[in-house]
């Protein structure tokens, strides 16, 4: 009896979406406009508009997404407070790295989108009670668009 050799499948790395925030500018203006720079790790897969608030992340059903945030200023506090997106496409969940208080958000793309899926990110900054939400939407872009 012969057996077929098993192909090794390596788990797919998540698409990491990083928000770089100018906290001082965002707090002064109470707006993300001109103070938010979005990047992802899927440039080779077709993502576009890096370094803007209108990042276009190319995704397909089954892709894992991981959102995180970095402050442009080294001593400023910023965190993602929430991600508003069509839950039929993706349901982001807040998680914390073990042994720390560092949070990130993750979600799985549930279906291929026929058109771009906009989403909004809410940020907590400094000691301000109310979050500041993106003014222009980044989008998830399916293979068909």
Q: Could you give the CA distance from residue 15 to residue 125 in angstroms, rounded to a whole number?
A: 25
Which sequence spans correspond to the domains of the chain? 15-141
Residue 28: how many other CB atoms lie within 10 Å:
10
Q: Could you give the CA distance from residue 4 to residue 111 in angstroms, rounded to a whole number?
A: 32
**Looking at domain 15-141, which of 3.20.20.70, 1.10.3720.10, 2.60.40.3910, 3.40.50.970 is its CATH number?**
2.60.40.3910
pLDDT given for residue 145 in this prediction: 47
3-state secondary structure of 5: coil
**pLDDT by residue, tens only, the chain of 145 residues:** 566 666 555 567 899 999 999 999 999 999 999 999 999 999 999 999 999 999 999 999 999 999 999 999 988 999 999 999 999 999 999 999 999 988 999 999 999 988 999 999 999 999 999 999 998 899 999 875 4
pLDDT given for residue 133 in this prediction: 97
Beta bridge partners of 48: 56
pLDDT given for residue 97 in this prediction: 92
pLDDT given for residue 113 in this prediction: 85
- Cβ neighbours of residue 128 closer than 8 Å, sequence gap 6 or more: 27
This prediction has a pTM of: 0.88
Query: For residue 26, which phi and psi values (nearest 5 degrees)?
Result: -65, -40
Q: Is 119 left (phi over 0), alpha (psi -120 to 50) or beta?
A: beta
Q: What does the CA dihedral 115, 44, 16, 28 come to, rounded to 10 degrees?
A: -80
Q: Could you give the CA distance from residue 87 to residue 75 in angstroms, rounded to a whole number?
A: 34
pLDDT given for residue 110 in this prediction: 96
pLDDT given for residue 6 in this prediction: 61
Do 131 and 80 touch, CB atoms closer than 8 A?
no
pLDDT given for residue 49 in this prediction: 97
């Amino acid at each position: 009896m012969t057996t077929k050799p098993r192909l090794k499948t390596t788990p797919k790395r998540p698409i990491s979406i990083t928000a770089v925030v100018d906290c001082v500018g965002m707090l002064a203006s109470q707006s993300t406009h001109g103070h938010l720079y979005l990047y992802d790790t899927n440039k080779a897969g077709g993502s576009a508009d890096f370094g803007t608030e209108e990042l276009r992340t190319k995704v397909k059903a089954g892709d894992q997404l991981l959102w995180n945030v970095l402050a442009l200023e080294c001593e400023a506090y910023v965190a993602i407070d929430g991600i508003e997106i069509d839950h039929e496409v993706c349901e982001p969940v807040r998680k914390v790295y073990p042994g720390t208080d560092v949070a990130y958000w993750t979600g799985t793309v549930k279906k291929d989108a026929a058109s771009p899926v906009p989403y909004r990110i809410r940020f907590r900054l400094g000691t301000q009670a109310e979050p500041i939400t993106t003014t222009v939407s980044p989008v998830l872009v399916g293979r068909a668009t």
